[in-house]
Amino acid sequence: MIRLENLQKTFVVDGRAVPALNGISLDVPEGEVFGIIGRSGAGKSTLIRMLNLLERPDSGRIAIDGRDITGLSDAALRGVRQQIGMVFQHFNLLSSRTVAENVRLPLELTASGSRAEQDARVAELLELVGLAAHRDKYPSQLSGGQKQRVGIARALANRPKLLLCDEATSALDPQTTQSILDLIADINRKLNLTVVLITHEMGVIRRIADRVAVIDGGRIVEMGPVAEVFLHPQHAATQSMVAELSHADELADSGLLDSATGAVWRLTFVGATTHEPILFDTASRYGLSFSLLQGTVSRLKDLPYGQLVVEWHGEAARLAEAREGLSARNVVVEVLR
């Protein structure tokens, strides 16, 4: 669906060259939810805006559906853009138009269908995003979450194959964020729409992305399935973003680690293992006792996972056996102490 090859972009600010993207290459297959995460200034915004050429790269190739879009004429580029929906952090709705008129705008631009057909399409879209009752309101009368739903309906009006989400939930509160992410995930499933989203929040990636690229200083420093990157972050930038979400810093701050007298392990497991009584089994089988220092059991999109920090007491030989036993059950063991 999308193939980026060696994208380069440098901005000139006050006469100084500021590199924004430095050799970005990636592939996004059709139907995937692909997340791009990075701190502000990492270059992620520049990157997503290149996918419909709101920003042009200095060099490199951007292929959408196998076609390089960097060399297209204005008219051909407009055609490509009509096939790519985009949702923005600040919604960017037209304040002079009602909800229904905002959603109709893309249809007017492409002059697609009669007035009646456009009406029907608008009604269908407002139904999809749950705003049918608000069709004649103006954006200023809506909440943030409702505005974003209008933004999503507008982005979908021309039945795009690709949806770009530029920090789509960053201006929303946690509950609204959840409902908007559910909506995007729902649309991705129902319409088999490819979604590329950028965010600075690991929580967003965790909830809806299939794969993720971590971008730092204009480069992709880590990329892979979300479970892998999230549970076993390699790069420092990824580790710090994951730590924020899993409260790993709190463990260090709490002093629990320093005051521990036994062996402290971090256990990570995904899928069916999450439902197994691994701690009890291990303790009883190897004659160990344990206390739980910290733990998370949650989901990565549809995949259940757990991450527990456990302090064990027992004989060293039994501990070593326990460690192998856990590994055999697909539990990843990291020794913290």
Partner 1 sequence: MELDWSLLDWAEIGVATWDTLRMLGWSLFFTVLFGLPLGVLLFLTSRRQLLANGWLNRVLSFVANVLRSVPFLILLVVMIPVTAWLVGTSLGVEGSIPPLVVGATPFFARLVETALREVDRGVIEAVQSLGATRWQIVWKVLLPESRPGLMAAVTVTAITLVSYTAMSGVIGGGGLGDLAIRYGYQRFQTEVMIVTVVILIAMVQALQMAGDWLVARVSRK
Closest to partner 1 by CB, 89 vs 177, is 89
With CB under 8 A as the contact rule, which of the stretches 58-66, 136-144, 228-236, 270-278 interacts with partner 1?
136-144
Number of residues forming the site for partner 1 (CB under 8 A): 30
Among 84, 126, 180, 242, binds partner 1 (CB under 8 A): 84
Q: Does 86 bind partner 1 (CB under 8 A)?
A: yes
**C-alpha pair distances (Å), 320 with each of 89, 186, 280, 284, 327:** 50, 45, 17, 15, 11
Mode of pairing for the β-strands spanning 332-335 and 263-270: antiparallel
CA angle 271, 275, 279 (to 5 degrees): 110
With CB under 8 A as the contact rule, which of the stretches 135-143, 195-203, 250-258, 281-289 interacts with partner 1?
135-143
Q: Does 138 bind partner 1 (CB under 8 A)?
A: yes
Closest to partner 1 by CB, 105 vs 185, is 105
With CB under 8 A as the contact rule, which of the stretches 84-92, 220-228, 230-238, 325-333 interacts with partner 1?
84-92
Q: Does 54 bind partner 1 (CB under 8 A)?
A: yes
Cβ-proximal residues to 301 (8 Å cutoff; 6+ apart), any chain:
33, 185, 206, 207, 208, 209, 210, 226
In the block, which residue shows the tokens 């608000």? 134
Q: Give residues 206-265 in contact with partner 1 (rule: CB under 8 A).
A: none
Q: Give residues 59-78 in contact with partner 1 (rule: CB under 8 A).
A: 77-78
* Contact of 166 with 92, CB cutoff 8 Å: no
* Contact of 209 with 224, CB cutoff 8 Å: no
Binding mask 87-106 for partner 1 (x = CB under 8 A): -x-x-xxxxxx-------xx
Among 30, 58, 68, 108, binds partner 1 (CB under 8 A): 108
CA angle 51, 54, 58 (to 5 degrees): 80
Among 38, 60, 139, 306, binds partner 1 (CB under 8 A): 139
Residues across the chain: 337
**CA gap 161, 146 in Å, rounded:** 23
Q: Does 121 bind partner 1 (CB under 8 A)?
A: no
Amino acid at 296: T
- Give least dist CB 150 to partner 1, A: 11
**CA gap 239, 229 in Å, rounded:** 9
Q: Does 267 bind partner 1 (CB under 8 A)?
A: no
Binding mask 5-44 for partner 1 (x = CB under 8 A): ----------------------------------------
Helices 278-286 and 316-328, axial angle in degrees (round to 10): 140
List residues near partner 1 by CB under 8 A.
52, 54, 77-82, 84, 86, 88, 90, 92-97, 105-106, 108-110, 138-140, 151, 154, 158, 164
